[in-house]
Structures are given as C-alpha cells and as structure tokens.
A and B are shown apart, each in its own frame.
Chain A
Amino acid sequence: MTTSAPLIEMIGITKSYTHIRALVGVDLTVRAGEVTCVLGDNGAGKSTLIKIISGLHRPDEGMMKIDGEEVQFDSPRDALDAGIATVYQDLAVVDLMETWRNFFLGSEIRKPVPVFKPMDIARMRATTSEQLAKLGIHLKDVNQPLATLSGGQRQCVAIARAVYFGARVLILDEPTAALGVKQSGVVLKYVDNAREAGIGVVFITHNPHHAFLIGDHFMVLTLGRTSLDARRSEITVDQLIREMAGGDELATLAHELGRHNAGAPGA
C-alpha cells in the first residue's frame, strides 16, 4: 500500500449521547484511491461516525488526523476546508431550489463587483451542466428545481458537486439505500470513478453485497464498537454477511439493547 500518511486517521473515537454510548473506541483509516466500507445495522453508530468526520459533532474522546496531523473540526466548514465532503442519505440538497443553485450552494462564484458582489450565474449554470454531463446526466435545463429530478440524478448531482469542489475524501451515507438496482449500479460506477481519480471514499451502507462490489477495506460496526476490520483479500462476501448479522451472542445483545438504542440521536 501507500507509504504516505493516510488522508484520514481516526483513533479511539468515543461519543456518547445523554444515556447512550454511540461509539466506543472506533478506529478508521481512509487512504487515497481506496474505498473504505463502513457497515452496520441501524443504530450501530454509522451516522454518528459520519457526523464526527464531517464536523457536525465532536467526539468525546479520541484523536483525528488529517494527512498525519491532528485536527479538530468545529463546524462542517472546517471539514470541507480539509477536503472532506459528505453526501448525506437525504442528499444534502434543497429540493425547491434550481439545480445550479444546489450545485454551488455554500461555494457560490461571485463577481468582484463592490457592495452586493453578485453571483456569476452564467458561469455557475454552464459549469453545472458541464459537470453533470461528465457523469452522463444531461439535463434540458439546469434551472429545473431539483425536486423534478429522479432519485439517482439527485444523488449524482450531490456526488458531482462534492468531486468538483475538490473533495479528497468523499463520504457517502447510504447512497444506494433509496435506489433501484439499475440506479444503484450507476452510483456504484461513479464511486469507482472517484476511486480511480485518487479520491478516498468512505462508503456507508448496510448492504454487504453493494459493499463487496466496490470496497477495498471493510469495517463492521456493532452497537458502537468495531466488530470487524479487514482488507478485501482477508475476507469473503459470505463472511461479511455473517459478520453483519452478528453471532448468536451479539444477536441476543442487540435484541436487548435495541430498545435503548432506538432513541439514540443519529441512530
């Protein structure tokens, strides 16, 4: 593997909400040009982990390094500035807004005109349709409100946006959960493209089949702890499925604790 420092290195991350320990001593390493799959059942701590990486929450304990240097994120802006872009389950898009407004939201291009500094709308529109065309999405009109696009298209707008804005790390939260088989395939292909382009991808999913199609490295979270951490060469898809389901002991425990975990924020 690469000898340079990993893009992200998280060590011993622990996070508790009022009564629930959402994450306990979790390690995660993200390398350039690799897809790291984080698997786990609902309430396993996947969402909490993403929120910490993307700067929405701060861990109670543990260390986070970017390019080998320790960092602390106080806001999503800090994470974005470090090149970490997150594409959320709900896509992090605003349905009522036009496609080009969504594409550039938070990173608008502005003309150097004093006082109002208007946006360079023509350039933003052109860039949006150009970037989407690269992903094979040809919109008749980038002025279309995002609500009028299909689920797969909306997903790809969010991914294209992250890649365009120089994401070195792309965190995809359940990108295929709401999609059909064909559209899932399209999204997985973009994930592969992103890896080829040298981007470090964190792929969050509860679907071991999708994970095994694309992943280089697998991590299974169970009730906030790491129950598996393996490279692709060390594991088979059957093992992954079994680990996802958990042993008998874990299943019983999951059943007992499931009740408490149901109310966990970000579960």
Chain B
Amino acid sequence: MTVQAVESDAAVSGQNKLRATSIVKLILTRPELSALVAAVAIFIFFWIVAPPFRSSAAMATVLYQSATIGVMAVSVALLMIGGEFDLSSGVAVVTASMSTSILAVHVGLNLFVSMGLALGISLLISFFNGWLVTKTGIPSFLITLSALFMLFGFNLGFNKVVTNTVATSDVSGEAGYSIIRGFFAYRLHLGGRGGPQFSILILWWLILVAIATYILLRTRTGNWILASGGNAASARAVGVPTKWVKIGLFMFVGFSAWFYAMHQLSAYKSVQAGSGIGGEFLYIIAAVVGGCALTGGSGSAIGSAIGAFIYGMTVQGIVYAGWDPNWFRFFLGIMLLGAVLLNLKVKQMSARIRR
C-alpha cells in the first residue's frame, strides 16, 4: 500500500524502476516467496486432478515423503547459503546407519553407544570435508564428489566384509530398539485402521526448519552464514571466521545425515548398503527450488521445507492421479530449471537497479 502511494508520486520515468526495485527487494529478502507460490499452485493442481489427494491419509503420506527429503534439505540449504555444496550427503546417511548397525550387532556395543559413536563418525567425516574445502580452496563440488564415491564404495565394501551381504544387519533385536524407534520413527494413528498415520519425522523436520530459520535470521551465526556465502573475502575482512562457519555448516549436514539415518534404521531395521546415492541431488533441488542461490549468500530454511513439500506433493500426486510415476523425475527437472531461471532473473534485475 505504501509502495503504491510512493509510486503514484514518482515521476513516470522512475516508476518502472521503482516497481522493479520493490519486487527484487522482496525476492532478495524473502527468497522462499516464489517457491510458496509454486507450492500453492501445485497443491491446487493435484487437488483438482487427483481425488485421492484430498484425503488426510494422503496428506500424511505427502508430508512423510516431504520430511524424508526435508530433514536433509534444511542443512543442505544452510550449507548452500554459506556458499558450499555437499554431494556426499546422500551416501553419508547410509554410512551412519551402517556404522550404528555394525557397532551394535557385530561389535556388540550397546545400541545407544553405537548411535553415539556413529554420530561422532558422521561429524568427523563432515568436518574433514569442510576442513579440506577451506584449507585447500578446492571447490566443495570436487571435494565432496570424491567423498561421495569414497563413502559409496566404503559402505558397500565394508558392509560386505562384516556381514557378507549387501544390507546392514537388523538392529531390531538390540536392547533399547523400541526406545529409539519411538523417538525417531513413531507413527501417530488417527481414526483407527486405514486412517492417516503421521510419522514423528514430520515433527522433527518442522522443528529442524524452525531452529534453522531462527539461527539464520535472528542470530549472529546466521549473519555470518549469509556473509560467508555472499562474499567470503569481505566477511573475513571484518572479522568473520568464515572457515569455521563453513566447517560448522558441513558438520550440520553430517548431523542431519546421522539423524535421518537413525530414522531409517528405526523404521526399517536394516538399510541397503548401496542406497543413498542420488539423495544429495534431491536435497539440493529442494534447497534451490526453495530459493537458495547456487552461488551462495541467499536462500532460506523455510524455502528448503517448501521445496521438500513440493517434492512430496509431486511424487505422491502423480501416483494419486494414476499417472505413470516414471514421469516424476521429468517434472522435478522442469521445476529445478524454473527455479534456476528465476534466480538468474532476480540477479539481473538487481544488477540493473544498481546502475
């Protein structure tokens, strides 16, 4: 309203520029806005074309699908805002599940101790990724691509040596299993048999998003994350420890990978040692669709959640609409392209305004 009032006063020649300024300003300060518009459109679309989509059971499934991507997408988004990538995030999840399983079942440690050690391993791997990236200056794309293949091979190879199979050993016989299952994979049944089942993972996901959003927008750490990704040299010059900010972000991805791994292990008792690959791209897509710039410095944690929700709606919506699910990845690709083009457009507009 105030914007319009100002505009009507402005000279005619200045009007377009002013309007463009306020739109760019809005998108720059609220990067998740365009994703929100897309999410609403996709929701309405499936609501119309796929009648089963309208049930609360379907919504529970969509939200669960979203959470399986979203838990990782939050930390991946923060890392991208901080200006780095982690391509090893998908297989890192399996490394954490496998470590827990081997330590508990084969080494014979207490399940909780095994989980703690697996967390340590996850954090150590992600610390090493971050340390290598900041120490050498080699793009994180290359460092974590190496990590992806090392972990992928390690998961399969090491699991084979210990278990002689391609799946991790079943942890459901371990003491304390029911406790971790209740914490990481509890399902809330509503309305009896056939009613919607809401996974507790949805709650953990939303809590993670809330904490990440708070940190990013309200704390000094968040300011430093934005600056480290936006212009690391400038940030360093005013005293921001950009290396530690980045290493911390890698470790947050490591923590999330462990958290999601504990959910998988609790829910499915055992995971395939060769799985996880490809997940890193889904997390990155959710973050980018949610408004994260590939070049860092801009994006939001809420955006990553919206991106994950778009993923969940699309993957389930296609099934509910009765279409061939093979088309799903095609739509995913289109959405990514759309998001990237929008990012580019915003950048060009902001550059034009400055002149």
Residues of A with C-beta under 8 A to B21:
148
Residues of A with C-beta under 8 A to B24:
148
| Cβ B230 vs Cβ A96 within 8 A | yes
Q: With A96-B298, A117-B220, A145-B28 in contact, do A56 and B350 touch (Cβ < 8 Å)? A: no
Q: With A94-B235, A119-B219, A147-B350 in contact, do A105 and B240 touch (Cβ < 8 Å)? A: yes
| Cβ B218 vs Cβ A121 within 8 A | yes
Answer yes or no: B238 CB below 8 A from chain A CBs: yes
| Bound CA–CA A145/B234 (angstroms) | 16
Shortest distance between the CB of B240 and any CB in chain A (Å): 5
| Cβ B239 vs Cβ A76 within 8 A | yes
Q: With A97-B226, A145-B29 in contact, do A119 and B220 touch (Cβ < 8 Å)? A: yes
Main secondary structure of the interface of A (DSSP, over half): loop
Within 8 A of A (CB), among B76-101: none
Q: State which size class the interface on A falls in.
A: 35 or more
Q: State which size class the interface on B falls in.
A: 20 to 34
Answer yes or no: B132 CB below 8 A from chain A CBs: no
Residues of B with C-beta under 8 A to A116:
214-215, 218-219
| Cβ A148 vs Cβ B354 within 8 A | yes
Answer yes or no: B25 CB below 8 A from chain A CBs: yes
Residues of B with C-beta under 8 A to A198:
none
| Bound CA–CA A236/B254 (angstroms) | 63
Shortest distance between the CB of A48 and any CB in chain B (Å): 15
| Cβ A118 vs Cβ B234 within 8 A | no
Q: Which residue of A lies closest to B218 (CB)?
A: A118
| Bound CA–CA A77/B350 (angstroms) | 31
Contact with B along A93-109 (1 / 0, CB 8 A): 11111100100111110
Quick one: which of A90, A104, A119 contacts B218, CB cutoff 8 A? A119
Residues of B with C-beta under 8 A to A239:
none
| Cβ A54 vs Cβ B230 within 8 A | no
Q: Which of A90, A95, A98, A107 has the most CB of B within 10 A?
A: A95
| Cβ B297 vs Cβ A96 within 8 A | yes
Residues of B with C-beta under 8 A to A105:
223-224, 227, 235, 238, 240
- 20 example contacts (A-B, Cβ-Cβ < 8 A) are as follows A76-B236, A76-B239, A77-B239, A90-B233, A92-B233, A92-B234, A92-B238, A94-B235, A96-B230, A97-B230, A101-B223, A104-B223, A106-B235, A106-B240, A107-B238, A108-B223, A110-B219, A117-B220, A145-B28, A148-B354
Interface residues of A (CB under 8 A from B): 54, 56, 75-77, 80, 86, 88, 90-98, 101, 104-108, 110, 116-119, 121, 143-145, 147-151
